[in-house]
Chains A and B, each alone.
Chain A
Amino acid sequence: GAVVSQHPSRVICKSGTSVKIECRSLDFQATTMFWYRQFPKKSLMLMATSNEGSKATYEQGVEKDKFLINHASLTLSTLTVTSAHPEDSSFYICSAKPAGANHRAQYFGPGTRLLVL
């Protein structure tokens, strides 16, 4: 149980294009999903908290117009990197927290490697 998928797993795009990354909880409902960014050999940095049916909460320094987040259902959140540039190249990973107060862990997706040329 508690499986989270991400699509695509790897994407290469040209500078200036937009890229959409999907995060799905496959066997549970998640009212809250989180988006992280990880640079090579570094730790995960939280970008934003995605809440179903409401606007995402962005961490300080993260441009909300650059990284658009939509959490339209209890099993799907999307991250769109708009007008991507080479500095946006990174590993993006989402996590989902099962609905219900008793769940402790967040479950992570396998991540998406983005390379912007």
Chain B
Amino acid sequence: AQKITQTQPGMFVQEKEAVTLDCTYDTSDPSYGLFWYKQPSSGEMIFLIYQGSYDQQNATEGRYSLNFQKARKSANLVISASQLGDSAMYFCAMRGIQGAQKLVFGQGTRLTINP
């Protein structure tokens, strides 16, 4: 079974500061993928970044980077130079090689950027 844990229900950050959202996971699959999605108040799920378990380098996408520490089973999202528009729910998710590649989501972290 796969499990994603996000231990921060809410985070408050000053605009332009960097923020790290925590995510730990548990799986018995030898190969897996880790995802981060952003969900603004409108409800849509926006794909941010992907990290494969065998990728040698940490993934980066613009202001988003993923701090992947395989031995610790963590996949934290780092947002640099935060903006007011970054305020949203953020979900970490995992997909294994089994189970039709379905995503398992964490509980989410509500990020609020203060001006």
**Interface residue ranges, A against B (CB under 8 Å):** 32, 34, 42-44, 46, 49, 51, 57, 91, 93, 95, 97, 104-111, 113
Please, how many residues of chain B have a CB less than 8 angstroms from a CB on the other chain?
21
Do A44 and B43 have beta carbons less than 8 Å apart? no
Q: List, in ascending order, chain B residues with CB within 8 A of A51's CB.
A: 100
The residues in B between 90 and 107 inclusive whose CB is less than 8 angstroms from any CB of A are 91, 100-107
Q: List, in ascending order, chain B residues with CB within 8 A of A44's CB.
A: 45, 91, 103, 105
Pick the contact of B44: A105, A110, A113 (CB < 8 A): A110
- Is B12 located at the chain interface by the 8 A CB criterion? no
Q: List, in ascending order, chain A residues with CB within 8 A of B68's CB.
A: none
CA distance A2 to B100 in the complex (A): 20
- Grouping DSSP codes into helix (H, G, I), strand (E, B) and loop, the A interface class, with mixed when no group exceeds half, is strand
Do A49 and B50 have beta carbons less than 8 Å apart? no
Pick the contact of B108: A32, A43, A46, A106 (CB < 8 A): A43
CA distance A43 to B106 in the complex (A): 7
Q: List, in ascending order, chain B residues with CB within 8 A of A113's CB.
A: 43
Given the known inter-chain contacts A44-B91, A49-B100, please indicate yes or no for A91 contacting B105, CB distance below 8 A: no
CA distance A104 to B55 in the complex (A): 13
